[in-house]
Amino acid sequence: MPRFTDREHAGRALAEELDEYRGAPDVVVLGLPRGGVPVAAVVASALRAPLDVIVVRKVGVPTQREVAMGALASIAGRTITVRNEDVIRRLGRDREVVFEEGAARERPELLRRERDYRAGLPPLDVEGKTVIIVDDGLATGATMRAAVAALEQSKPGQVVVAVPIGSTDVVDEFSRLVDEVVCVDTPEPFWAVGQGYIDFAQTSDEEVRDLLLSKPH
């Protein structure tokens, strides 16, 4: 049976697990667009913390776009490149050209989403802060992994990964990568994030932008 009615319900449940951070002056909540932002917005409101987004675009292998050779992320006003060296090494002699061409394809969409979501709002400064990165779930963890790697370059004080539902194996992996992982539900068997929701409708760009503009920043 699904644990959550929708992303708002999931955000309330996640906020309860994060109650120790409520009202802390150095906490920032970052949502992963698109689906993580409605969850993050509820968490940010409950914790009385500012809300921002961290936009990530996977750089896929040309012949297998679902296989990530890296990612681009936008954090604190900077575009950061995250490389998956294990995959890149398998691309052959022209691997650097292949990677750069893939990154160049994804960069315009990353920047477009960043402009559209922010609508003129400046990015939050996360240096030295406790940063809670929120998504609507952890399946493979690829997007969250890229977000964490990019965030580290902005020198946060502490990184917390927070999700309503996730795979036990992936949650365990992140417990070794960040300071804390908070996950409300790790069902067995786990096959998809959507299994935890009754309503798992796609989140639109407009909804992301409206939520970001409506919250303290």
Give per-residue pLDDT as tens, 118-176.
887 888 889 999 999 999 999 888 789 889 988 988 899 999 999 999 999 999 999 99
CATH architecture of 56-118: 2-Layer Sandwich (3.30)
CA angle 183, 208, 84 (to 5 degrees): 60
What CA–CA distance (Å, rounded) separates 97 from 62? Answer: 12
Residue whose C-alpha is closest to residue 29's, from 5, 13, 10, 53:
53
The 10s digit of each residue's pLDDT in 63-117 is 888 778 888 888 767 788 888 888 898 888 899 999 999 999 999 999 888 888 9
Number of other CB atoms surrounding residue 191 within 10 Å: 9
Decide: 36 and 48 in contact? Cβ < 8 Å.
no
Q: How confident is the model at residue 184 (pLDDT cuts 50, 70, 90)?
A: very high
CATH, range 7-53+124-214:
3.40.50.2020
Give start-end residues of each CATH 3.30.1310 domain in the chain: 56-118
Give start-end residues of each CATH 3.40.50.2020 domain in the chain: 7-53+124-214
